[in-house]
Amino acid sequence: MAPHRITAARPLPGGEPDGDRWSVTWTGAAVMGVVNVTPDSFSDGGRFLEIGPAVAHGRQLAADGALVVDVGGESTRPGAQPVGVTTEIDRVRPVITALVADGLLVSVDTRWAEVATAAIAAGAHIVNDVSGLADPDMAAVCATSGTPVVIGHMRGTPATMQLDPTYDDVVAEVTAALREGATRALAAGVPSVLVDPGLGFGKTTEHNLALLRALPLAIEHPVVIGASRKGFIGRLTGATTPAERDAGTLAAHLVAAERGVALVRAHDVASHVQALAVLAALVD
């Protein structure tokens, strides 16, 4: 499999100088571990709202083998309302500062340019934007700071996205939107782009399955997949609570990994790292 690469205009932990930039390169799928500094995330809301437990959790995910630790301060579950940028910054900034000081590769999970700015100032290396640059200032913030961005696909907003998502051709429409977002980001000067079809963000179970079946997407950038504990895993398996959905999650992520994605975003990092090691031994 061809290696995956993230490039930034400033040093990246685990990276190497790459001309006047820095790159982190890896083969096969790596894991992006989730730290939700929120009271209301759908699977772990309230567990990591305090700084101490959030930092300890991020460290544990890195120790378990996560390549990237993804820190978020706003739930984007279906029906969620925005919390406001001040609250979001207050939640994520100290956690990012501590994890960056530990030498970890850290992304900030935010839809807002103001939060991204504060997170980058605290040392965040990657912006993970599930809204796909909906904030008109986001591309410029990433470009000016030399920060790579994950462009996610979302139909609508978290408050409305699951009301009645419809597509003529979900794979074609999502791929086209991701291509358009990537082109826009690169034209603005963002050093590198990853794309994420956004499972569960304005998609039914059938839409999510169609996107997973369509991997690898016809798009040249590294792909991120986030199925972790989502509702469609519950609908497929009968696992009612999110915490029961790790085995189903792993099945979806292993198929995605076998089809060439660069990152799988997961709550249960240790199981993913073990399963991906076996996959790596079995496929070229």
Binding window for ligand HH2 (CB under 6 A); candidates: 9-17, 40-48, 175-183, 233-241: 40-48
229 catalytic residue (yes or no): no
| Residue 145, token pair as written in the block | 């700071």
Cα-trace Rg, the chain: 17
Relative to beta strand 106-109, strand 68-72 is: parallel
Of 218-257, which residues contact ligand HH2 (CB under 6 A)?
A: 224, 226
Q: What 3-state class would DSSP assign to 149?
A: strand
Question: Residues 62-101: x/- map of binding to ligand HH2 (CB under 6 A)?
Answer: ----------x--xxx------------------------
Rounded to the nearest 10 degrees, what angle do helices 205-213 and 170-188 cross at? 70
How many angstroms separate the CA atoms of 257 and 276, rounded?
Answer: 8
Sign of the torsion angle spanned by Cα atoms 54, 148, 211, 68: negative
Q: Which is nearer to ligand HH2, 41 or 147 (by Cβ)?
A: 41
Shortest Å distance, C-beta 40 to ligand HH2: 7
Q: Which is nearer to ligand HH2, 7 or 41 (by Cβ)?
A: 41
Binding window for ligand HH2 (CB under 6 A); candidates: 35-43, 47-55, 114-122, 248-256: 35-43
Q: Write 89-92 long-range contacts (CB < 8 A, 24+).
A: 89/114, 89/115, 89/118, 89/119, 91/37, 91/38, 91/49, 92/37, 92/118, 92/119, 92/122
Shortest Å distance, C-beta 271 to ligand HH2: 16
| 217 near ligand HH2 (CB under 6 A) | no
| 13 near ligand HH2 (CB under 6 A) | no
How many angstroms separate the CA atoms of 62 and 222, rounded?
Answer: 21
What angle is formed at CA 242 by the lines to CA 125 and CA 244, rounded to 5 degrees?
115
Q: Which of 230, 235, 245, 259 is catalytic?
A: 230
| 48 near ligand HH2 (CB under 6 A) | no
Binding window for ligand HH2 (CB under 6 A); candidates: 41-49, 116-124, 166-174, 269-277: 41-49
**Single residue of 42, 48, 112, 232 touching ligand HH2 by CB under 6 A:** 42
| 208 near ligand HH2 (CB under 6 A) | no
Report phi then psi at 123, rounded to 5: 115, 0
265 catalytic residue (yes or no): yes
Say if residues 182 and 226 touch (Cβ distance below 8 Å): no
How many angstroms separate the CA atoms of 164 and 160, rounded?
Answer: 9
**CB nearest ligand HH2: which residue?**
226
**Single residue of 7, 22, 29, 41 touching ligand HH2 by CB under 6 A:** 41
Question: Given the rule CB under 6 A, which residues bind ligand HH2?
Answer: 34, 36, 38, 41-43, 72, 75-77, 109, 128, 130, 150, 152, 196, 199, 224, 226, 265
> Which residues are marked as active site?
230, 265
